[in-house]
Amino acid sequence: MAKIVPFKAVRPAPDKIGLVSCRNYEDYSAAELAAWLNFNPYSFLHVISPAYANVQSIGLKKRFKGVALKYKDFKAENIFIQEEKPVFYLYEINTKKQKFTGIIAGTSVIDYKNNHIKKHEDTLEYRVEMFKSYLHQTRFNTEPVLITYPDSVELNTWILLKKQGQPANQFSTTNKEKHTLWKIDTQSDIDWLQEHFDNIPNLYIADGHHRSASAEKLYDDDKELNNPNLDYFMSFLIAESNVKIYEFNRIIRDLNDHSKEDFLKLIAENFIIKTKDQELWKPQNKFEFSMYLDGDFYALYYKHENSNSNERSILETLDAQILYDKVLNPILGIEDLRNDERIEYIPGNKSITTIKEVIDEGGFKVGFMLYPSDISEIKTLADNNLIMPPKSTYIEPKFRSGLVVYEL
């Protein structure tokens, strides 16, 4: 079973919601961040970056305390208001390419511990500890974990019915997205939704592995406080078919002292190579890779895709793992995909011309484009307690900071 709970959320005042909510802090360039902070006094960026001008010169503990104080200021000025009672939300993100609809709810730390909420990515301990410290100091979270549930005709019908009601909030953003929020606050709807999720054996984390791991650590550290909010973490629950999974493409700074000719010979040991010249070619199927090198594109077809799958683990058939095992590690000498400064990642929602332009500028030598994983692949790995290589997937939708706040 999967336990979900409503919660007394804090949200921006209705007349300010479009001004308050923002993209993830890390999505902004320095110039964009400075502009928003200078010209929009309501932006949630003021809360999560209260010491922007000297962010490098203060410690994390002091910075997190500054976040907590600025958040209290926003509440005191009625920029944020709190619900009178626990509620769920139905939330729709309408982008230029796709529409996403999901449920904002509290999900159980105990379910996470018992592997009813399953993960497919590894976490970095320092990031988990850092975000736990952030939660401990600020006592709030506004970035839900993105969790998928199995498609359900019954739930889809219920969602369509609720979307016919009057939204609690509706606004557009400067990147031309439309956001709509419906409040689910009647006891009958709350009971129905909880009962529906009670019958779902497992949920799967799509994005937010560090946030869920941090919530678990905070629960373990502070459970003697008897704070029921610590028993749950905020999640955005969305149907499996409604998640958009992109690949993370790789760009590498050098050929590890190989000449172009030798590099191609080494690649040919495991891949059939077809030159595509200037064609902006992307993989069309699993076991296919695109490579950009020295002004030309190449199609790489993995030679061993038809070998007996029973002789290989699930992980060994993952395209990101194949690229690592056959190229990045043995040929290019990259061992640590997270920390090696010779490799960087570009999400698959960026145009292939982005990779070409970055490499043509001279800072990188070669780029690899992968075919994206699908949800069944992610679930199979999670069900077998296997972990994807770092930066295997870039998953949408992305939740806006400051839209809904879960207080601890």
SS3 233: strand
Spans of all domains in the chain: 4-242+399-407, 247-372
Residues 194 and 87 sit within 8 Å (Cβ to Cβ): no
Of 261, 19, 227, nearest to 106 by C-alpha is 227
Crossing angle of helices 125-138/209-222, nearest 10°? 60
Of 219, 240, 244, nearest to 229 by C-alpha is 219
Domain 247-372 is found in CATH 3.30.1760: yes
C-alpha separations of 381 from 210, 246, 367, 373, 386 in Å: 18, 17, 26, 11, 5
18-32, 117-131, 222-236, 256-270: range with highest mean pLDDT:
256-270
Model pLDDT, residue 216: 96
**Residue 51 pLDDT greater than 70, yes or no:** no
Question: Phi-psi region for residue 385, left (φ > 0), alpha (ψ -120 to 50) or beta?
Answer: left
The model's confidence at residue 311, banded by pLDDT at 50, 70 and 90, is very low
C-alpha separations of 346 from 208, 326, 353 in Å: 18, 20, 11
Model pLDDT, residue 24: 86
**Residue 307 pLDDT greater than 60, yes or no:** no
Lowest-confidence region among 143-157, 173-187, 301-315, 375-389: 301-315
Residues 286 and 319 sit within 8 Å (Cβ to Cβ): yes
In degrees and rounded to multiples of 5, residue 4 shows phi and psi of -125, 150
Buried b or exposed e, range 361-400, using 16+ CB within 10 angstroms: eeebbbbbbbbbbebebbbbbbeeeeebbbbbbbbbbbbb
Model pLDDT, residue 55: 54
Alpha-helical (H) ranges within 40-105 are 45-48, 60-76
**CA dist., res. 172 & res. 156, Å (int):** 24
The model's confidence at residue 305, banded by pLDDT at 50, 70 and 90, is low
Q: What is the pairing mode between strands 244-252 and 366-370? A: antiparallel
Residue type, 364: F
Q: Alpha-carbon torsion 378, 380, 384, 389, what sign?
A: negative
Of 58, 207, 211, 79, nearest to 135 by C-alpha is 211
Angle CA 190–192–196, to nearest 5: 120
Model pLDDT, residue 306: 59
Share of the chain above pLDDT 90, in %: 82
The model's confidence at residue 197, banded by pLDDT at 50, 70 and 90, is very high
Where are the extended beta strands (E) located within 287-373?
A: 288-293, 296-302, 343-347, 366-370
Lowest-confidence region among 165-169, 362-366, 376-380, 389-393: 389-393
Averaged pLDDT, 316-323: 93
DSSP letter at 318? Answer: S
